[in-house]
Amino acid sequence: KLADDAISAAIRSDEPELEAVLHYQKGNILHATDSVEASLREMESANEAAKRSGDKVVEAVMLIGYGHQLKKKDVRRGLELMHEGYATYRQIVGADDDDRTGCLQLERLGVGEFDHEHIGNGERLLEKAVAGLERLKLRSDLLTTYNYLAQVYLAGGQFEQCEATLNKALAAYDEKVGPNAWQGNN
């Protein structure tokens, strides 16, 4: 109800970028509380609103998010959309991986590649995401990215790298920020 009210307000205010983000967040919630299909419907609405916005960065990020959810139903197509969105994002923002959004999108791509059983591609992308987040000193984002990278290392039998990465994840936790579910996962 709160998400629907917020989406309605964004539509009334003629704020398609905000509408896209709200549909996207609602889609993430529906994945956990309803179904993949309900999540995908919201992600499709997010992409439609992003296109109406004319903001190419918003379009690219929403496409990656939609691809991320779609891979739960169609891994190949979801991964294709994620790569398409990331390529568009990089064309707009530049080839650097020194921005938070780009690093987090690399993380998603790495997880997508791993889910599609492309362990080497997943490892390479996640290592690149980690390197960017480390340069940016984004400790709270590193909790999840280190975890995903450790999972890839574990799946590839790289147990020492897995352990070292999980130790980095544990060291990145900042108690002053407060509880974080990824800390427990790590």
User: What is the per-residue pLDDT for 97?
Assistant: 64
Counting DSSP H helices and E strands in the chain, the numbers are 10, 0
User: What is the per-residue pLDDT for 115?
Assistant: 87
Q: Which pLDDT tens digit goes with each residue over 149-183?
A: 999 999 999 999 999 999 999 988 877 777 777 78
For range 19-34, the mean pLDDT: 94
By the 10 Å C-beta count (0-12 exposed, 13-18 middle, 19+ buried), 161 is classed as middle
Whole-number average pLDDT of the chain: 91
Q: Which pLDDT tens digit goes with each residue over 80-128?
A: 999 999 999 989 887 666 789 889 999 999 999 998 889 999 999 999 9
User: What is the per-residue pLDDT for 174?
Assistant: 76
For range 43-59, the mean pLDDT: 95
Pick from 157, 95, 98, 90: which is nearest to 123 by CA?
157
Pick from 5, 42, 71: which is nearest to 34 by CA?
42
User: What is the per-residue pLDDT for 166?
Assistant: 94
Pick from 31, 28, 30, 26: which is nearest to 10 by CA?
26
Q: Which of 12-16, 31-35, 93-97, 136-140 has the lowest mean pLDDT?
A: 93-97
How far is 62 from 23, CA to CA, in rounded Å? 10
Longest C-alpha distance within the chain, in Å? 54
Pair 68, 46: CB distance under 8 Å = no
HEC string of 121-183 equals HHHHHHHHHHHHHHHHCCHHHHHHHHHHHHHHHHHCCCHHHHHHHHHHHHHHCCCCCCCCHHH
Pair 50, 62: CB distance under 8 Å = yes
